Amino acid sequence: MEFKQVVGNRRSIRFFDPDKPVEREKIQVILETARLASCAVNAHWLRAIVVERDRIPADKLNQLKTPVAALTLDLAPVHIYFFVDLGIVNKIKGSRLRELVDAGALAPTHGWSHKFVDDFVYPQILEPMTKNLQGYIGAAFADAGGAAHCALLAAFDEGLGACLNTPNPALTKQVFGVPDDWHSLWVMLVGYPSESPDGGGQRPRPEFEELYFDGEYGKPFKRDAKVVDQLKKAKMLQAPAPLPGRMDEIKRLAQEYDLPM
């Protein structure tokens, strides 16, 4: 699938076929994609625990349910719990930056060398940053979130449906027994949709020119209608929700899964 169409096809899918398993190789593709995502200082904060719904003990699954995501956890065959490892920078102590120097990704033309990493970048920037948790947490979570969103797009490229939910951080740490440095980010629920893959249409978004500015605040970045037409042809911009028949589909799914309406 072309990249623009993958972006256009992404929906927060919440109705999964509970009886159709997800192939393990597709889960690996999702994780491989996260591993290749852009990451500051090559730290790779993102960690993941893959849970198969039918293999996790029922008591643990029930502990992980929140009022918002309980039904979706029951329906989705695979749950991927994403964590941010805040301890990684002090564990690697600049070693992964040295790897980038050796690989030619950080070049001497820009001032990079092993000595620069060891004498300046780690002791004067990275190590002190980890002691300023307010700024450090924001940077680490932003990078991990980017990797998780790459994984989310990979799920749709594999023909799956997926949805990001916010788990209960204290319970995820307790249930999975993760290290103290790991902080809960999201759970990505994965499976084959039992609702239409288009999810009833592309979800509402704020107006383009409310979000983006040209050179300064208050000067909107003008949206070009020709580019909009190109993106529609590439299937990145798709028909908006709700599509005809969406409410009937929800009623059908409610009857199938014995859900309230």
Mean pLDDT of the chain, nearest integer: 96
Q: What pLDDT, on a 0 to 100 scale, did the predictor assign at position 67? A: 87
By percentage, how much of the chain surpasses pLDDT 70? 100
pLDDT digits (tens, 9 = 90+) for 108-154: 999 999 999 999 999 999 999 888 888 899 999 999 999 999 999 99
Query: For the chain, what is the domain count?
Result: 1
Q: Does 214 fall in a domain?
A: no
**Average pLDDT of span 154-158:** 98
pLDDT digits (tens, 9 = 90+) for 68-114: 889 999 999 999 999 999 999 999 999 999 999 999 999 999 999 99
Q: Does 142 fall in a domain?
A: yes
Q: Does 246 fall in a domain?
A: no
Q: Does 243 fall in a domain?
A: no
Q: Does 244 fall in a domain?
A: no
d(CA 4, CA 153): 11
Q: What pLDDT, on a 0 to 100 scale, did the predictor assign at position 186? A: 96
Q: Is it the case that residue 6 has pLDDT exceeding 90? A: yes
d(CA 160, CA 38): 23
126 secondary structure, DSSP code: I
Q: Does 185 fall in a domain?
A: yes
- Exposed, middle or buried by CB within 10 Å (0-12, 13-18, 19+), for 134? exposed
What confidence tier does 30 reach under pLDDT thresholds 50, 70, 90? Answer: very high
Q: What pLDDT, on a 0 to 100 scale, did the predictor assign at position 185? A: 96
The pTM is what?
A: 0.95
Q: What pLDDT, on a 0 to 100 scale, did the predictor assign at position 174? A: 92
Q: What pLDDT, on a 0 to 100 scale, did the predictor assign at position 46? A: 98
**Average pLDDT of span 196-200:** 95
Q: Does 253 fall in a domain?
A: no
d(CA 104, CA 120): 19
Please identify which residue in the block is written with the tokens 């799920």. Answer: 155
Domain that includes residue 26, residue range: 3-194
Q: Does 186 fall in a domain?
A: yes
**CATH number for 67:** 3.40.109.10
pLDDT digits (tens, 9 = 90+) for 201-251: 999 999 999 999 999 999 999 999 999 999 999 999 999 999 999 999 999
What confidence tier does 22 reach under pLDDT thresholds 50, 70, 90? Answer: very high
Packing angle between helix 133-157 and helix 24-35, nearest 10 degrees? 140
Please identify which residue in the block is written with the tokens 């990684």. Answer: 88
